Amino acid sequence: MRRERWGRLDAVVSGTGDGPVVVLMHGFGAPAEDLVSLADHVDAPAGTRWVFPAAPLELGLPFGEARAWWMIDTARFVRDIESGRGATWTHEVPPGLAECRERVTALLGEVRARLGERVVLGGFSQGAMLACDVALRTTEPLAGLVLLSATIVAEDEWRPRFRARRGLRVFQSHGRDDGLLPYAVAERLRMLWEDGGADVEFVGFGGGHELPPVVLDGLGRWLGE
């Protein structure tokens, strides 16, 4: 495991060989290395390399080592769901999303140049939202897309772009009891990908905003395929 600068982002890189490269981005409020242990818990193909970028925003005290790709009012998410208003944020374009997309696109360019062309992009929660946005708004060559507990943002801008990724292999997971990002919105995101012609494997599980063994097992199997 090594810590390096890739484009305008710090990242942890692990693994050696000539297999695929998996770029996974952590969620809002998580430390930079939150997902690094997945490299040891996902049964990926031999020779897989892993790149775990750190989000650029440091939240600071009282959040400790927490970071974010852009600021989110998580309390609002919960209020909207509990009040019955539903997911009102799905049509909003988060401030800072465009800059993060540019940073990740630059990172992917370096990944291809240094580690090879077979790149799978993904993330958890906010990191998955960003991965989805990069896939839809760029022409980056992707071997696959991993959306772990994702939701929809910028829907009006995303919706016409799914068909441009026809044939893309997508692995998506979501907890049926997720109290932060509703399962119903995740299902709607799955349908948007499927209607656009993507090859989607969807793992719904009995749980919340998390990554249980059934998801890690499914992800390893999917990467192997």
**CATH architecture, domain 2-224:** 3-Layer(aba) Sandwich (3.40)
CB atoms within 10 A of CB 216: 17
Residue 61 is predicted with a pLDDT of 58
Over residues 202-215, the pLDDT tens digits come to 999 999 999 999 99
For the chain, give the percent of residues with pLDDT over 70: 96
Round the average pLDDT of the chain to a whole number and report it: 93
Is there a contact between 161 and 135 (Cβ–Cβ < 8 Å)? no
Over residues 2-49, the pLDDT tens digits come to 999 998 999 999 999 999 999 999 999 999 999 999 999 999 999 999
Q: What stretch of H or E contains 4?
A: strand 2-6
Whether 62 has a pLDDT exceeding 90, the answer reads no
Domain ranges of the chain: 2-224
pTM: 0.95
